[in-house]
Chains A and B, each alone.
Chain A
Amino acid sequence: MQWETVIGLEVHVQLATRSKIFSGASTAFGAEPNTQACAVDLGMPGVLPVLNEAAVAMAVQFGLAIHAEIPEVSVFDRKNYFYPDLPKGYQTSQMYHPIVGPGEVEITLDDGGTKRIRVHHAHLEEDAGKSLHEDFHGMTGIDLNRAGTPLLEIVSEPDMRSAKEAAAYLKAIHSIVTYLGISDGNMAEGSMRCDVNVSVRPAGQAEFGTRAEIKNVNSFRFVERAIAFEVERQIELLEDGGTVVQETRLYDPERDETRSMRTKEEANDYRYFPCPDLLPVVLDQAYVDHLRDRLPELPDEKRARFQDALGLSAYDAGVLSASREMAEYFEAVKEACGDAKQAANWVQGELSGALNREGLPIQDSPVSAAQLGGLIARVMDDTINGKAAKQVFQALWNGQGQSADEVIEAKGLKQVTDSGAIEAMIDQVIADSPAQVAQYRDAEPDKRGKMIGYFVGQVMKASRGTANPQQVNALLKEKLDALC
């Protein structure tokens, strides 16, 4: 039977506020356990929450970026359950009246086409602390530094039909939140995590199958793999005549499998009710408009501009607009060299290759955008040839010089375009290679083209790479053919 996969994502994005959503404690990552938890975060008797306006602004910006409705009133609710790293015994969240209403996110498919994924809503909530199970001699440690960190939970409609679409959606969300600067998007540090709802149904069937929710998946790759495993598990189950039970599952990246955590019957009754300590959040139109005016150019807009105004291919535009850092870098290179296509080629070619080898993000590139732009400009004005350009890039990467010009000067890489000088080198090479000249002469004319490569290599070597390769080629052909 043909099966169709149905996927919905709940993405939790840690907002990059300086302080927590309901207290003044810092949200910086990596501090000593429990040093960034104040009385409010600890749920001390008598403390009260005060909403961080920055978190509200960030949530609204996200809503505007996905063209969502921004309700005038949103309300915080308490989600009640006991857990050691949940200090108050409830999580303050938004159940009934979220801050961001329905919106949509466009994703790019493998075939270059696009698809709109609807967002059901996004709501603000506080993160819990962390339970630490190591190093406590059979006891559990609790670190409440993370407790109260603002989260924006973005809940999609079940609009995705493959693991790839889910990953593309997650990447699109990642790109939006990092463009907006509302999250660092660092998945390794837990700044973005998601719960994946997966079900399968016979192709063509209208109603959804029973879904399983896979909790807390924290990388793009794991999302794809968890879905792949889960889809296979469900199909196998159904084809063997079984049924899928509604349950919460956990993805184990080490064993690459999902396991049951709890079934629907074991699910908590969270007893949501409006938090009496917080007033409803009322957003007036002027406030929303103000935030709208301050929205940066978003990935979709940027991609379109890269294609339409800069003439890049859809693929290049997509890659270069995928993250804010990438786009900013590319645009700076383009500014410095004055040519978008050359800038695109270099950023995606030489630079990305080097970054990938060293595992560096673009914002940590040892070669600055200005340096790379300067280098490209020297290629374009024929100061250096392509081969020398790679040497200059490597030198800049290694910190040997402040600018391309400095490296070119120091290493004497300036391209030789003086015909006389090139001819002299060619004459020398021909004089030093009688055997190869003889071979060349004896070869059929149509085989000679290939054989010329040897002479080009020798001339380039003699020029330490600085000779203009086109000139070398033309002059060599002329001189060798004259010998035939």
Chain B
Amino acid sequence: MHDKTLSELAAALTAGEFTSRELAEHLLARIERLDGHLNSLITVTTEQALAAADAADACRARGQAGPLTGLPLAIKDLLCTDGVRTTAGSRMLGNFVAPYDATVVEKLKAAGTVSLGKTNLDEFAMGSSNENSAFGAVKNPWDAAAVPGGSSGGSAAAVAAGLVPAAMGTDTGGSIRQPAAFCGITGLKPTYGRVSRYGIIAYASSLDQAGPMARTAEDCALLLNAIAGHDPRDSTSVARGVPDYTEELDAPLTGLKIGLPREYFGDGLDPEVEAATREAIRVFEALGASVREVSLPHTHYAIPAYYVIAPAEASSNLSRYDGVRFGHRCEAPTDLIDLYKRSRAEGFGEEVKRRILIGTHTLSEGFFDAYYKKAQQVRRLIRQDFLDAFEEVDVLMGPASPTPAFDLGAKKDPVSMYLQDIYTIAVNLAGIPGISVPAGFVKGRPVGLQILGTHFAEPRLLNVAHQFQQATDWHRRRPAIAEETL
């Protein structure tokens, strides 16, 4: 049963092949047996999961089951969960038990899903390899020597390894799409404002967005149905109706206009990844789509602009971790300044400190105009690039990452790590949605195809991804660990 997609599991539960409790117990046992090796989960919530599964079974017995009732999943440990430890992958919040549910969590609970636990991540979602976690690195289920990507590396690895059929991730510069690509699963970053950020521990507020990670685009659509929508508690969430994201999945792709951004196929792209990507695009041509080259001329400014804006916001967002009210507090502080300095020095990891420093610097008097203001101007240009491109084409396609998953410990230099996000980061700056779908393998490691659409084009993205998955079977491939039986 751990091999099935959400929609298959829903059908099996409806058919009475097994109960939610049996399903949860089976997956909890797999986690128990396999996750010691993978390290994809920081906290396993066995008790709550079984209670939720029982409640789901009871609900089903009453004939009140919805499309997600009793379906298990895991939640990135950046989303606050009432009464459950929520760490953000940081020593700073190592013992922090959230007093409330994030809106996304609340909605998933209301939909009857069964959360099995909280997934590992780069500390405060800052990273592209999941190596920046205070709870240890996560291994890629396809190859234990490889990273799973980041920052939602735990979510991606747990789904790929068959520990959960789906997981929630968050994406600030590629943190859903890149690990989805590295682990051979499907991951959707919705339009900024589509999903509430309330209760998601903030990294960079103007870029953060939660989204589903699952085995198929169809499953992502099911989950998006549950989590999308305006939230009065998040002023940046958009008051716009939520369509049924499964409705357009089966629409044919005849006449679809695909744009290939020239800048996404240039220097630094692994030739084998490029080959896999182009092969995938030929599938769309076979499905009746037309392909043309387009340009996103400001692409090469995306990483510098991101690394001004995101750290600036982060430096402010992370100021609340001061050892005063919650989170890590140093032993025996001598005075207030000592309390601040040591609590923060001990609580934060290296990459988090680096970004706080960058952000503090770029917001400083005398530097603000040169960095922050300029970066915001660049951001507008990048957004305009996309809007211009979507005047010509329906979707953009390219690789989700310039390489397949790299080896653990391979990227020592922060800048080379930052460059990993070259194809994903501009999407967050523009606020548009993007999805990564499995599209082949390079030396046994998965390759992801990224599909981008204009603001609120999720129905189209899911339709395009789903049609690709009807025509290919990359998303059905499983790593050996997923085949392991207990």
Contact = CB atoms under 8 A, between A and B. Distances in A.
A46 B319 contact: no
B364 A269 contact: yes
A46 B320 contact: no
B100 A88 contact: no
A277 B205 contact: yes
A337 B372 CA distance: 66
Question: Most chain-A Cβ atoms within 10 A of its Cβ — which of B96, B320, B340?
Answer: B320
Contacts of B204: 276
A273 B320 contact: no
A265 to B, nearest CB: 13
Question: Most chain-B Cβ atoms within 10 A of its Cβ — which of A50, A272, A277?
Answer: A277
A271 B201 contact: no
B197 A48 contact: yes
A215 to B, nearest CB: 19
B325 A45 contact: no
A89 B313 CA distance: 12
B316 interface: yes
B47 interface: no
Contacts of A142: 324-325
Interface in A61-120: 78, 80, 82, 84, 87-90
A42 B364 CA distance: 26
Interface stretch (B228-236, B251-259, B347-355): B228-236
Given A45-B88, A80-B363, A276 B324 contact: no
Interface string A35-48: 00001001111111
Contact of A45 (B98, B235, B360): B98
A89 B340 CA distance: 11
Given A46-B200, A269-B365, A277 B235 contact: yes
B6 interface: no
B155 interface: no
Contact of A51 (B100, B235, B325, B372): B235
Contacts of B206: 276
A31 interface: no
A44 B232 contact: no
Given A44-B99, A45-B88, A277-B205, A90 B319 contact: yes
A277 B200 CA distance: 12
B455 to A, nearest CB: 16
B98 A48 contact: no
A45 B86 contact: yes
Interface of B is mostly: loop
Interface string B276-305: 000000000000000000000000000000
A397 to B, nearest CB: 51
A45 B93 contact: yes
Interface string A427-457: 0000000000000000000000000000000
B236 A279 contact: yes
Contacts of A48: 197-198, 233-236
A84 B324 contact: yes
Nearest to A78: B316
Given A49-B235, A279-B235, A82 B99 contact: no
Nearest to B200: A46
Contacts of A45: 80, 86, 88, 93, 96, 98, 201-202, 320, 326
Interface residues of B, number: 43
B232 A50 contact: yes
B261 to A, nearest CB: 27
A39 B316 contact: no
B316 A90 contact: yes
A480 B337 CA distance: 91
A80 B234 CA distance: 21
Contact of A46 (B201, B232, B313, B365): B201
Interface string B66-108: 0000000000000110000010100001001011101000000
Contacts of A276: 204-206, 236, 313
Contact of B325 (A43, A90, A271): A43
Contacts of B322: 82, 84, 89
Contacts of B315: 80, 271
A283 to B, nearest CB: 16
B205 A46 contact: no
A80 B361 CA distance: 13
30 contacts: A42-B325, A43-B320, A44-B80, A44-B326, A45-B80, A45-B93, A45-B98, A46-B79, A46-B200, A46-B202, A48-B233, A49-B235, A50-B232, A50-B233, A80-B319, A82-B319, A88-B319, A88-B320, A89-B316, A89-B319, A90-B319, A271-B316, A271-B365, A271-B368, A272-B368, A273-B316, A273-B363, A276-B205, A277-B202, A277-B236
Give the top 4 A-B pairs by smallest Cβ distance, nearest first: A89-B319, A271-B363, A276-B205, A276-B206
Interface of B: 79-80, 86, 88, 93, 96, 98-100, 102, 197-202, 204-206, 232-236, 312-313, 315-316, 318-320, 322, 324-326, 336, 340, 360, 363-365, 368, 372
Given A46-B86, A84-B336, 14 more contacts: A43-B320, A44-B80, A45-B93, A46-B102, A49-B235, A80-B315, A80-B319, A82-B322, A271-B316, A271-B363, A271-B365, A271-B368, A276-B205, A276-B313
